[in-house]
Amino acid sequence: MPSSALASLYITLMCLIWGSTWFVIRVGLRDLPPFQSAAVRFAIAAAVMTLVAHFARKREGGTAPPFWLSLVLGTLNFAASYAFVYWSETRIPSALASVLWSVYPLLMAASSHMFLAHEKLVPRQWLGFVLGFAGVALLFATDLPAISKDALVGGCVLLGSPLVATIGTTLVKKHGGATSSLLLNRNGMWIGALLLALLAFSCERDTPAHWTPNAIATVVYLAVVGTAFTFGLYFWLLRHTSAYRMSLISYATPPVAILLGAFAGNEPITRWTLSGMAAILGGVLLVMGWKRSPSTKSS
């Protein structure tokens, strides 16, 4: 079990990495179709995780995950969640995508309240949900229609990503506390890669893919750093710390994504973007700021 300081350091590192992935995805999509790019990313990540699991499995400990849990993780957290993200980023800027995705802690808190013991919400935390989703509504009323009608559709589709990720993470937190995170991620990534490849074959057979050095570099970075390393670390930490604390990663990544999108990608950042982000993250702060004491027991 990591110390509190070490866990905080790991969480900070994941914030920086995952904050950068939104822009890197957008860069890669200049040359590659979305589902094919995501499928190759997860195939490489699964191969890396297979190698890591072979050498580190005994040191990590934990039991072998049941197949159904690997299937849940691979289908929801990897295949479905990233299919939504990649497809949406062909229609909306990476910074705006990251801001919309930051509703994940709100969804995770609500799910934890309903399904996870000792992670209950107090009544005033629901104010945070109202504020957070008011921020989402603001973005749908301002930034998205200003881009295009396709951007509105892209924003709606993107919101499916944190929703399915919430379901998957809740099930992993509830049923996977004793399982090996390395094996769970290895299995889930292979399943995710297979499902994304099937999706690419079905939808992108006639779409050209240009495997330029730039495209290869983005896929390798996303696979090794943004997937194998971070998800292995994430689900290992999830065994030892609160789902609330882990979901705070989504609180810190939008500012990183906005800075990269603005300065490296010349993406437009309006006052509505910042206002929507402030409302969403303010809602997250309200939800995360008041937690029922761990000593409180349910009857």
> For residues 46 and 254, what is the distance between their CA atoms, to the nearest angstrom?
26
CA 38 to chain centre: 13
pTM: 0.85
Q: How many residues does the chain have?
A: 299
Tens digits of residue pLDDT in 103-121: 887 888 788 777 766 656 6
pLDDT of residue 77: 95
Domain segments of the chain as ranges: 4-289
> For residues 198 and 100, what is the distance between their CA atoms, to the nearest angstrom?
27
63: three-class secondary structure by DSSP: strand
Closest by CA position to 164, among listed 120, 107, 110:
107
Tens digits of residue pLDDT in 223-253: 999 988 887 787 778 777 766 667 667 667 8
Q: In 23-59, which positions are buried (b, 16+ CB within 10 angstroms) versus exposed (e)?
A: bbbbbbbebbbbbbbbbbbbbbbbbbbbebbeeeeee
Tens digits of residue pLDDT in 32-89: 999 999 999 999 999 999 998 888 777 777 888 999 999 999 999 999 999 999 999 9
